[in-house]
Chain A
Amino acid sequence: MTYVRAFGRFWWDFIVGDDWRVAAGVALALGLTSLLTHKGVNAWWLLPAVVALLLAGAVFRPRKA
């Protein structure tokens, strides 16, 4: 079990890193983009805008030392 947890932890750190909000924001933005395109809106502008906001939020958000 320790190895399984360590394996999961490694991939979590590798992909998500120390700010899960960024990964959650990416998932939400992609979901919303998919929803809009299915409704006929070519929402190419949505993801770059959300990525810019996520980056700004991640940069200015205080973190544990």
Chain B
Amino acid sequence: MTTSTALIVAGAFLASAVEMVEAVTIVIGVGVVRGWRSALIGAGAATLVLAALVVVLGPALTVVPIKALRLVVGALLLAFGLQWLRKAVLRSGGYVPMHDEAEAFRREQEEAAAAASEERAGLDWYAFTVSFKGVLLEGLEVVFIVISFGSAQGKLGLAAAGAAAAVVVVVLAGVLVRGPLERVPENTLKYAVGLLLTSFGCFWGAEGAGVHWPGDELSLPVLIGFLWLVSFLLVQALRRRPVPLPSGAEA
């Protein structure tokens, strides 16, 4: 397995793990209060939609010339990854609160308890729709990452397998804990995913623009190290500032 392939699988696994922790919190929060049947059917339906997106869009992108594909995927990953990395830096620098899974779980349960009861198609409609939307929206980011990672490197199967493995691990953990997965180092994982997305975006974007990286794929770990160093210095600089910046970024 080459360096870039290992990093693609790791990136898909970590991104999927982070998003699935949030999705599992929603499903368990709703399921505990409103009952499991509708919540699980909602989650299952959303998972089917996400899998269908990967199956349809992934192979469709293979007809696009690889250079053009890498340019577009690189640009999208850079714009998307820089959002993740900026939020991670602001969180680590103390300017944005860390994401609190226990608090999210409590809020989810409160809203589920307060919502009116409405039955449609034999389902508790609130539990179904909240689970469906939660899994779909969190999963869309994973699908985007899997398709972009997989198509730019021609390793869609491996990227999808990495993401699927994370789903299995997180769901199993959720079943065992039956509560918020607050012990998962979610903020650290988000930082790592932001670094990987931005680094791959930089690598593929530049390749798509015609660049030949010194050392080819070996430049990828160097790029990750460089961006980590930049983000580390930014975190240190933020921590030295006396007054936090007003920020619209959410955890």
Contact = CB atoms under 8 A, between A and B. Distances in A.
Contacts of B76: 15
Interface residues of A, number: 33
B140 A63 contact: no
A24 to B, nearest CB: 9
A30 B209 CA distance: 7
Contacts of A60: 245
Contacts of A47: 202, 205-206, 209, 211
Nearest to B245: A62
A14 B82 contact: no
Given A30-B209, A44-B213, A59 B82 contact: no
Contact of A26 (B82, B208, B212, B226): B82
Interface size classification for chain B: 35 or more
A51 B234 contact: no
Contacts of A62: 245-246
A59 B90 contact: yes
Interface string B87-99: 0011001000000
Contacts of B206: 30, 33, 43-44, 46-47
Contacts of B79: 15-17, 22-23, 26
Contacts of B219: 44
Given A14-B141, A48-B202, A55-B86, 16 more contacts: A15-B79, A18-B248, A19-B83, A26-B82, A27-B75, A30-B74, A33-B210, A33-B211, A48-B227, A55-B227, A56-B230, A58-B86, A60-B245, A63-B247, A63-B249, A64-B248
6 contacts: A26-B201, A33-B205, A44-B211, A48-B226, A55-B85, A59-B238
Interface of B: 71, 74-76, 78-80, 82-83, 85-86, 89-90, 93, 140-141, 144, 198, 201-202, 205-206, 208-214, 219, 223, 226-227, 230-231, 234, 238, 245-249
Interface of A: 14-19, 22-23, 26-27, 30, 33-34, 37-38, 42-44, 46-48, 51-52, 54-56, 58-60, 62-65
